[in-house]
A and B are shown apart, each in its own frame.
Chain A
Amino acid sequence: MKYDIHTAWLRLTATVDAAHAPRPHGNMERHKLYDNIDGTGEMFMGLMLLGFALLGYLQAILPEHSIWRTNMFASLLFMYAVLILVLGPGYLLRRVIKKHITWPRTGYVAGHSLWRLMLAPRLAGREAAPGVPTRKGLWYTMLALGFVAAIVAAGLACLVAFERRHFGAMTGLAGVGADIWVLYLAHGKGTPVEMAVIALHGAGASRNWSHRFRQFYRGGAVGDVLRWRCVGHLRLGYSVFIHPAHLPARC
């Protein structure tokens, strides 16, 4: 494996880098390197946490007998409205960054749809092409989707069972979910820095379990938002630094 400043940076930010990972079809998976070369993924994660923090704050300041707090369906509607209001502009911002900053520097590349990558070759009974996920990959994806569905179902079940009395525990669950994601990103990259980051995440999640949501949002979420946003912006800055803007391609 090649070690240079680029690799070190990617390891520090616990981001999977297809180009540096030892893979049998490295060239065939090169385009994956471009998926999050600009840190927009981290920025989006930061925005998502901001959405949750805002949601918690608004829930806390709403009047005690407000319909948005007492009625479960109204609470869900409120949650979706707040998240869409925060994540919608975030998605648009991601598109703008890609279009005006990333693609003019790195070039534009679009992968195939999930249908084309996984299901169509299976249904057609063809051998998967290099760079295309195999049957094992399909199973892993289904497993991951099932896991996410189980988490969402568990969250909704908690909401129904405990309502807002145990909202702190639910935010803790969200913290654990974020930890699992970080563990996935850091998988196979056992450097001391990443281990420290994971340990901090674990400590944060356990703290979230034991405190009510106001404490969680006062300290933990704000720190998480800032951390993800900072990592995203630094990564974007680094990407702009190593990829000088090209003149428009004329061929």
Chain B
Amino acid sequence: MNEQLRAISELDRVIHEPGRLMIVALLWPVKECDFLYLLNATEMNKGNLSSHLARLEEAGYVEIEKTYRGKVPRTLLRLTRKGRTAFDQYRKGLKAAF
């Protein structure tokens, strides 16, 4: 297997899925955002977005903080250091592959 094909095979599968890639790409340049921002930006439905976020949280890429603003629940999301590193690696891998 040549280097370029190897780079493709080594891409992070957690990030590679388009829905999760959108989420990580949106979280990358910001400090934090809430669930509604991602819902608007990705135009996914709540269920899909929740499941993708759960998968990213499980991988340790996203930190989810559930708080309340008054009586209104608020879900804050931010990329962890591990998530940033993973996205960096993913970008480099993609660049190397193509």
The chain A residues found within 8 Å of chain B, CB to CB, are 27-31, 34, 99, 103-104, 106-113, 116, 129-132, 243, 246, 248-251
A131 and B26 CA atoms in complex are apart in Å by 10
A130 and B39 CA atoms in complex are apart in Å by 22
Q: Contacts A110-B30, A112-B31 given: A251-B37 contact, CB under 8 Å?
A: no
User: Are B75 and A109 closer than 8 Å at their CB atoms?
Assistant: no
Add 10 more A-B contacts to A28-B28, A109-B37 (CB < 8 A).
A31-B30, A112-B30, A113-B31, A129-B28, A129-B88, A248-B72, A249-B39, A249-B73, A250-B73, A251-B35
User: Are A111 and B30 closer than 8 Å at their CB atoms?
Assistant: yes
Smallest beta-carbon distance B32→chain A, Å: 5
User: Are B33 and A108 closer than 8 Å at their CB atoms?
Assistant: yes
Q: Contacts A30-B41, A248-B72, A251-B53 given: A116-B31 contact, CB under 8 Å?
A: yes
User: Are B35 and A30 closer than 8 Å at their CB atoms?
Assistant: no
How many Cβ-Cβ contacts under 8 Å join chain A to chain B?
84
Q: Contacts A30-B41, A248-B73 given: A103-B29 contact, CB under 8 Å?
A: no
Task: Report chain B residues within 8 Å CB of A108.
Answer: 33-34, 36-37, 74, 76
Smallest beta-carbon distance B22→chain A, Å: 8
Interface size on B, residues (CB 8 A): 28
Contact of A106 (CB < 8 Å), options: B26, B30, B32, B40: B40
Contact of A27 (CB < 8 Å), options: B26, B31, B35: B26
User: Are A30 and B26 closer than 8 Å at their CB atoms?
Assistant: yes
B94: interface (CB < 8 Å) = no
Task: Report chain B residues within 8 Å CB of A129.
Answer: 28-29, 88
Could you write out 28 A-B pairs with CB less than 8 Å apart? A27-B25, A28-B29, A29-B29, A30-B41, A31-B30, A31-B33, A31-B37, A106-B37, A107-B37, A107-B39, A107-B41, A108-B74, A109-B32, A109-B33, A109-B34, A109-B37, A110-B31, A112-B30, A129-B29, A130-B28, A130-B29, A130-B91, A131-B28, A246-B36, A249-B34, A249-B46, A250-B73, A251-B46
A112 and B28 CA atoms in complex are apart in Å by 10
A31 and B37 CA atoms in complex are apart in Å by 9
User: Are A249 and B28 closer than 8 Å at their CB atoms?
Assistant: no
B49: interface (CB < 8 Å) = yes
Of chain A, the residue at the smallest CB distance from B69 is: A99
Task: Report chain A residues within 8 Å CB of B41.
Answer: 30, 107
B9: interface (CB < 8 Å) = no
